[in-house]
Amino acid sequence: MVYYVNQSNDPYFNQAFEESLFLNAPEDDILLLWRNSPAVVCGCYQNPFAEVSVPAALEKNVAVVRRETGGGTVYHDPGNVNYTRIARAEGQGADYGRFIRPVVEALNRLGIPAAFTRTCDISIQGLKVSGSAQKIAGGRVLHHGTLLYDTDLTALRALANGRQAHYEAKGIRSAPWPVTNIRSHLADSTMDTAQFQQALFCELTRGGAEPRALTAAQLDEVGRLAEEKFRSWEWTYGRTPAFSYRREFLWRGLRVCAEYEAKNAVIGSVRLTPEEGKLAALEKSLAGLALRPELLRAVCETAGCPGLWTFLI
């Protein structure tokens, strides 16, 4: 086993870090342990607008990230430890036990009563502490999972809890499940998240692990991938499957209904009712607009409807 050291907390850089190793690293038994600053991380083929309260995330300076693997939306913060395994794929289908069992056993040795549950979760007393997802390509598998150790569960519920009711689309929806933090199930909970990560590392690498750091050239490649792909609007929002949106809301005492169709996160046909005054002007400005939060906000302000943008995504 080879362990690549990654101490970055930048969620975009960290996506690029594992993607780059998945595509390019010569080794076929890789372990990563890493943590993110606050971020909501959506599955590869999800609609981030439907999964995440985007205006709330922006206001709280929480990154919105699209990852390469399948599945639903998760919340990361420095109290959550992520593990990644990159290996040769054995067959073409999902094989979760191969990667999850060693993690459960490591947790058990640390005195944590965790169990492998449902398809790809780890739970304590029926409450989820870890979800995982995979990508299989080119004969390799990337498996990664979260481990809620000391995460802000209030922020998790507030942010990774979108506005599904307003969105109609094909594609992949999240399947929320009650969660808990590992720390609250420890007899001795004085261990902080960094210490937990270190203890987990020791348990996962009992059979030995060779530490590696990226070369300068590899680091450049990860930086480029982070900027050009993972931090781009085109990747995070532009890849959203086509959807239609409908929402009724009260705006300055007026009952407003907003409806639009979007493809590649660009508004096509749009209708704001009642069609009068400022709303009629706003409707014209919205047609053809990319769903970039800062653009939506500016267009609403220009039309004399500041704040209305938060009802449009």
**Residue 137 CB partners (closer than 8 Å, separation 6+):** 22
- Applying CB under 8 A, the span of 31-39, 54-62, 85-93, 195-203 interacting with another protein comes to 85-93
Beta-carbon-side half-sphere exposure of residue 134 (alpha carbons within 13 Å): 25
Cα–Cα distance between 94 and 160 in angstroms, integer? 25
The size of the chain, in residues, is: 313
Q: Contact with another protein (CB under 8 A): which of 169, 279, 289, 299?
A: 169
- Residue 170 engages another protein in binding (rule: CB under 8 A): yes
Interatomic CA distance for residues 130 and 145, integer angstroms: 6
Closest distance of CB 242 from another protein, Å: 7
Q: Phi/psi at 277 (nearest 5 deg)?
A: 45, -125
Pick the closer one to another protein by CB: 175 or 217: 175
Does 41 bind another protein (CB under 8 A)? Our answer is no
Q: Decide if residue 148 touches another protein (CB under 8 A).
A: no
Distance between CA atoms of residues 157 and 170, nearest Å: 24
Residue 88 touches another protein, criterion: CB under 8 A: no
**Min dist. Cβ of residue 145 to another protein (A):** 10
Q: Which of 7, 26, 61, 138 binds another protein (CB under 8 A)?
A: 138
Contact flag: residue 69 with another protein (CB under 8 A)? yes
> How far is CA 306 from its chain centroid?
29
Using DSSP's 3-state secondary structure scheme, residue 300 falls into helix
134 binds another protein (CB under 8 A): yes
Query: Can you give the binding site for another protein, defined by CB under 8 A?
Result: 43-45, 68-72, 91-94, 119-120, 132-138, 169-172, 241-242
